[in-house]
Structure 1
Amino acid sequence: MPHIESNILQVERRIEQIDIKGQYINLASAICLSGHLNVTELHAQYTQNIAQNDTGSVLQIGVDEAGRGPLLGSVNVAAALLPRAWSGLIEEQPLKDTPLSILTDSKQLSEKKRDILYPLVQQYAVGHIVADIPAAVIDQINILQATMLGMRLCTEVLLETLTKHLDMEHKRFFEVLIDGNRCPDLDSAKLVKLGIEESALDCQAWVKGDGRHTSIAAASILAKVSRDKTMYALDAEYPEYGIAKHKGYPTRAHMEAISAHGVLAAHRRSFAPIRKALEGEH
């Protein structure tokens, strides 16, 4: 079947202000989100035969992050919706004999395999969103809250995009599967406006979920590879820091480069090693 470009909806968002528990916060730097929705596949997977098959009304969205630990750069978060038959527990092999058959936790895969999977996940996911949460926002609200915010925004933007192209007259159920031990605080009022009642949304935290569920694993690939791309871009700009090798993590080589060349704008100033390095400069 030919690829119909007009049915691929590109999604781009730039968030400069955010409502967190009723308080509007001007972000220190914009959060950028990007992704796409395959409208044709959405209808084929989750609309057709819905009356005959009630499971067609359940959409499982996997969410994962990459880059919580580094001293440098953004934390990246992704949300992914796979074709219905490909969604499920990895151990039950729903991806067997598919182009994503090697998909699992991105940390368990070589960089070469992640790079192979990245365009395939983008191609075959029904929908996906990737958020880039810059260092300035991490410093502003802390790394945990920045990660939770990224998970919230990815989920809400993907849900908003999906509901615009779904027949919401049918009862739809959404399962949001978060890698980790806690779920983000989603804006329930906003979701109700989209036609998603609280009873129709089940947010689940999955410890080590990227090795357990295909949709979380897909999100982990998107988050990890997109973050690595930003690290390679920084490496090209600042080759003396060796960023391509350490990806911003606090290795000995990274710390020595900071001592020799100073702190970059992209370093996370709220992280203790960077804070100490800055104190040493004064």
Structure 2
Amino acid sequence: MDLRLPNSFSPSSGDNFAIEKHLYASSWQTVAGTDEAGRGPLAGPVVAAAVILPRRGETSLWIDSKKLSPKKLLLLRSILMESDAFIGIGVSSVMEIEHINILQASLLAMERAVLNLSIQPDCLLVDGKFPTHIQLPQLPLIKGESRSASIAAASIIAKTHRDQLLCELHEQYPQYNFAQHKGYPTREHRNAIKKYGICPAHRRTFKGVKEYVDAASAPR
């Protein structure tokens, strides 16, 4: 089920909660935003979060996680976790990414995040072009982190949770230095793959990894 904004809708400049305000004024009771982190890396799961922000409160804090320093990300995560916001987190594994592709795995992680909210929203703002498969009215928003405080807040939770998971993977596979690059295809990461081969945390269907799959499967 899709939501649509009227053609006449024109949010006030700088108001990143304008879409949510419009939906609340249109009789929707609980609006959640959802976003994912980790579509581009060569290793690790994709993580999503869903956030329902309080109707009243300061929303200018919540901006796209990609524009924030690691220190600011952790600070904002802490503020969110201690606020009256409702937060759900969903994860889609490397195996799921390989079996259903990264887009579908991202949508699945978003669905899990929504289902992990302690209250069920009655509509959903989704970052990107595509709605999830969950049975809720939805509004996909391209560059949603810049247009919706709820999506931006979700991006902060998803990013920091995924970073934590990659730091845990670093403990298992320190040779790749996942704690530094979080699985993204940096030069350091690519060079580590060339030197050490791949590990179970790598996405074997991704360019930059799949070239090494046969070598990893060969008897030694």
> Structure 1 length normalisation: TM-score?
0.64
Equivalent in 68, 93, 110 of residue 134 of structure 1:
93
Instruction: Compute the displacement of 1:277 (Å).
Output: 1.0
Instruction: Note if 1:219 corresponds to 2:219.
Output: no
Q: Within 1, Cα distance between the matches of 2:162 and 2:214?
A: 28
What per-residue deviation string (whole Å, max 9, x for no partner) do you get for residues 61-84 of structure 1? 010000000010100000000111
| Conservation of the 8 A alpha-carbon contact between 1:56 and 1:84 | no
Q: Within 2, Cα distance between the matches of 1:54 and 1:102?
A: 22
Structure 1 segments (4+ residues) deviating >6 Å: 53-56
**Residue 128 of structure 2 aligns with which residue?**
180
SS across alignment from 2:56: helix
Q: Within 1, Cα distance between the matches of 2:25 and 2:98?
A: 45
| Conservation of the 8 A alpha-carbon contact between 2:54 and 2:85 | yes
| Conservation of the 8 A alpha-carbon contact between 1:179 and 1:208 | yes
| Conservation of the 8 A alpha-carbon contact between 2:28 and 2:123 | no
Q: Within 1, Cα distance between the matches of 2:158 and 2:71?
A: 15
Instruction: Compute the displacement of 1:55 (Å).
Output: 6.8
Unaligned runs of 5+ in 1: 1-52, 87-93, 96-100, 164-172, 189-200
Q: Compared with structure 1, are the counterparts of its residues 57 and 278 closer, same or farther at alpha carbon in structure 2 (3 Å cutoff)?
A: closer
SS across alignment from 1:61: strand
Matches within 5 A, 1:74-223: 74-86=45-57, 94-95=58-59, 101-158=60-117, 161-163=118-120, 174-186=122-134, 188=135, 201-223=136-158
| Conservation of the 8 A alpha-carbon contact between 2:183 and 2:189 | yes
Q: Within 2, Cα distance between the matches of 1:278 and 1:245?
A: 24
Instruction: Compute the displacement of 1:102 (Å).
Output: 2.9
Instruction: Compute the displacement of 1:260 (Å).
Output: 1.4
Unaligned runs of 5+ in 2: 1-23
Q: Compared with structure 1, are the counterparts of its residues 178 and 79 closer, same or farther at alpha carbon in structure 2 (3 Å cutoff)?
A: same
Q: Within 2, Cα distance between the matches of 1:277 and 1:202?
A: 42
| Conservation of the 8 A alpha-carbon contact between 1:80 and 1:125 | no
Q: Within 1, Cα distance between the matches of 2:156 and 2:84?
A: 12
> Structure 2 length normalisation: TM-score?
0.81
Q: Compared with structure 1, are the counterparts of its residues 205 and 54 closer, same or farther at alpha carbon in structure 2 (3 Å cutoff)?
A: closer
| Equivalences, count | 194
Q: Within 2, Cα distance between the matches of 1:203 and 1:125?
A: 23
**Residue 36 of structure 2 aligns with which residue?**
65
Instruction: Compute the displacement of 1:153 (Å).
Output: 2.4
Matches within 5 A, 1:23-42: none
Q: Within 2, Cα distance between the matches of 1:242 and 1:151?
A: 27
Q: Within 2, Cα distance between the matches of 1:278 and 1:157?
A: 34
Amino acid at match of 2:111: R
Q: Within 2, Cα distance between the matches of 1:54 and 1:234?
A: 45
Higher Cα radius of gyration: 1
| Conservation of the 8 A alpha-carbon contact between 2:31 and 2:52 | yes
Q: Within 1, Cα distance between the matches of 2:191 and 2:213?
A: 14
Q: Which has the higher strand share?
A: 1
Instruction: Note if 1:261 corresponds to 2:196.
Output: yes
Instruction: Note if 1:248 corresponds to 2:183.
Output: yes
Q: Within 2, Cα distance between the matches of 1:239 and 1:156?
A: 33
Instruction: Compute the displacement of 1:250 (Å).
Output: 1.2
